Amino acid sequence: MKSAMLGRSISQVEVTNVSPHGFWRFVGEQELFVSFKDFPWFKDASIRQLSNVELPSEHHLYWPDLDIDLAVESLTHPERYPLISQAPPNKGLQPTKARPRVVKKRQTRSRLRG
């Protein structure tokens, strides 16, 4: 038995795919690509953080976990928005490298025998 689709998706905005170069998201009926090169603050975000996106108004996207607001038009017409953020990616979201373990030698105390 196959399940038929009962209707259209009721989600107003959703992330549909993530790649090393960016992610795709639907807003209404339109799917757009968000490049990590053009929008670097998304690069180190988890899929959960990318997926948690809201549409507070028809032309405004908000990622609450990342505290990022974007006009939908900045994704559909990036040439109209030439000022790209120069903020570095959030290094706190990247895994830390293992630090070399420092082993201190114990000082031995000689006992005085009397």
CATH code for the domain in which residue 79 is found: 3.30.2020.40
Global pTM reads 0.60
3-state secondary structure of 100: coil
Write out the E strands in the chain.
13-19, 22-27, 30-35, 54-57, 60-63, 68-71
Residue 101 lies in a domain: no
Residue 50 lies in a domain: yes
Residue 104 lies in a domain: no
Q: If you average pLDDT over residues 85-101, what whole number do you get? A: 59
pLDDT digits (tens, 9 = 90+) for 57-87: 888 899 999 999 989 888 888 778 776 556 6
Rg (CA), the chain: 24
Residue range of the domain that includes 34: 13-93
62, containing H or E segment: strand 60-63
